[in-house]
Amino acid sequence: MPAKKQRKSVKKVVSKPVAKHNHSFAGLLLGLIALLGCWIPFLGTILALIAIVSSRKGGFMNIIGCTLGIIALILSLAILGLVVFLFSIGFFAGKAF
């Protein structure tokens, strides 16, 4: 009888795929958090700017993150302007009388 050939087992090393959408997911998440926190004047502005910067390249999640960041930035700046306006009215009204 012929001798059986032994096969050497070769293990293939499978590496985990590198996440390509880290920045887009971060931009989307920060855009959502900035939209929820836009009523806190400085926090919403800072988070909105970070969301816009982190989702600068094209892609579906990047576009949504950038859009949410822009909407949150506009709302946050409007609320910040309203807070400054109301404080200035209160400040000048207190000194006038």
Domain boundaries, the chain: 23-96
CA distance 58 to 75: 24
Residue 71 pLDDT class (50, 70, 90 cuts): very high
CA distance 29 to 38: 14
- Say what the pLDDT of residue 70 is: 92
CB atoms within 10 A of CB 39: 11
Amino acid present at 91: F
CA distance 55 to 74: 17
Average pLDDT value over all residues in the chain: 80
Burial of 62 (0-12, 13-18, 19+ CB in 10 A): buried
- Say what the pLDDT of residue 91 is: 78
